């Protein structure tokens, strides 16, 4: 497990390349990925069509009729020395309301039992953590987050659920995720946020960004329903603190 001395460019067909910067999941590796993405986008390199950051790699989609493989490699190599020194791109701090347990968090009791904790402790540990968003992926707007206390580490469900409601907040391994649309899933569902992580009708349909920090605020069912109504009416904005300065 390490950070690479030089980027590895792995061909991903004729129009994409996976630029791998490490073989580990770490904030440092992810900061390099997000920095590389920002530098490529700031550089407005003609022929770069799309960038997709993940834990330790950036998938760069390009138009080979505009940008040759050699040229793309040269651009990435030229940026590489700046990745190690660059500070992590600034992220936002968001507070997301979350109703834990009961109908919203059907797995809370079982998670508490398996971890040897009281349900209230699981909630306290989960809601006190700074959950860092490594990237958005899988389904539209779904965040891959970690940062929760290691006491909450738990293997994923043996048998994934076929349906998990949108907004479900789940844990698995050392990660937390939030289901952005109703979908199958292997995470233990501790609670649910009434916010929409993905709202196809909104001007900006995706709530979270790679590099954001999320904190969950425990709410009860009454508040859940009130916020859900406000969200449906377009009258609710989550609390977003100023950008973290680099």
Q: Specify the residue, 116 or 201, whose C-beta has the smaller distance to another protein.
A: 201
Angle, helices 69-85/27-42, rounded to nearest 10 degrees: 130
Instruction: Work out how close the CB of 171 gets to another protein at its nearest, in angstroms, rounded to a whole number.
Output: 16
User: CB-based contacts of 192: which residues, under 8 Å, 6+ apart?
Assistant: 98, 99, 104, 105, 165, 167, 168, 169, 224
For residues 22-37, one letter each, b for 16 or more C-beta atoms within 10 angstroms of the residue's C-beta and e for the rest, the string is beebbeebbbbbbbbb
Instruction: Work out how close the CB of 65 gets to another protein at its nearest, in angstroms, rounded to a whole number.
Output: 6
Instruction: Work out how close the CB of 166 gets to another protein at its nearest, in angstroms, rounded to a whole number.
Output: 11
Q: Specify the residue, 100 or 179, whose C-beta has the smaller distance to another protein.
A: 179
Instruction: Work out how close the CB of 32 gets to another protein at its nearest, in angstroms, rounded to a whole number.
Output: 14
* Rounded CA separation 165/179 (Å): 7
63 in Cβ contact with 15 (< 8 Å): yes
* Rounded CA separation 202/164 (Å): 23
Instruction: Work out how close the CB of 220 gets to another protein at its nearest, in angstroms, rounded to a whole number.
Output: 30
Q: Specify the residue, 104 or 198, whose C-beta has the smaller distance to another protein.
A: 198
User: Which residues form the interface with another protein (CB under 8 A)?
Assistant: 10-16, 18, 20, 23-25, 52-59, 61, 64-65, 68-69, 135-140, 144, 181, 198, 200, 205
Q: Specify the residue, 138 or 236, whose C-beta has the smaller distance to another protein.
A: 138
Q: Specify the residue, 16 or 115, whose C-beta has the smaller distance to another protein.
A: 16
């Amino acid at each position: 497990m390490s950070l690479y001395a030089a980027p590895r460019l792995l061909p991903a067909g004729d129009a994409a390349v996976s630029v791998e910067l490490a073989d580990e999941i770490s904030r440092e590796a992810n900061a390099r990925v997000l920095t590389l993405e920002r530098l490529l986008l700031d550089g407005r390199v003609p022929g770069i069509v799309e960038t997709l950051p993940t834990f330790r790699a950036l998938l760069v989609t390009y138009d080979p009729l505009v940008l040759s493989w050699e040229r793309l490699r040269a651009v990435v190599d030229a940026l590489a020395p700046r990745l190690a020194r660059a500070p992590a791109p600034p992220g936002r701090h968001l507070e997301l309301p979350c109703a834990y347990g009961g109908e919203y968090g059907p797995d809370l009791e079982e998670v508490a039992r398996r971890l040897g904790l009281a349900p209230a402790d699981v909630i306290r540990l989960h809601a006190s953590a700074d959950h860092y968003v490594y990237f958005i992926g899988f389904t539209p707007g779904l965040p891959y987050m970690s940062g929760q206390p290691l006491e909450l580490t738990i293997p994923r469900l043996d048998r994934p659920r076929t349906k998990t409601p949108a907004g479900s907040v789940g844990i698995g391994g050392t990660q937390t995720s939030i289901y952005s649309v109703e979908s199958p899933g292997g995470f233990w569902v501790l609670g649910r946020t009434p916010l929409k992580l993905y709202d196809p009708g909104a001007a900006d349909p995706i709530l979270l960004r790679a590099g954001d920090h999320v904190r969950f605020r425990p709410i009860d069912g009454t508040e859940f329903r009130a916020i859900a109504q406000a969200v449906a009416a377009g009258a609710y904005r989550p609390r977003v603190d100023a950008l973290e300065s680099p």
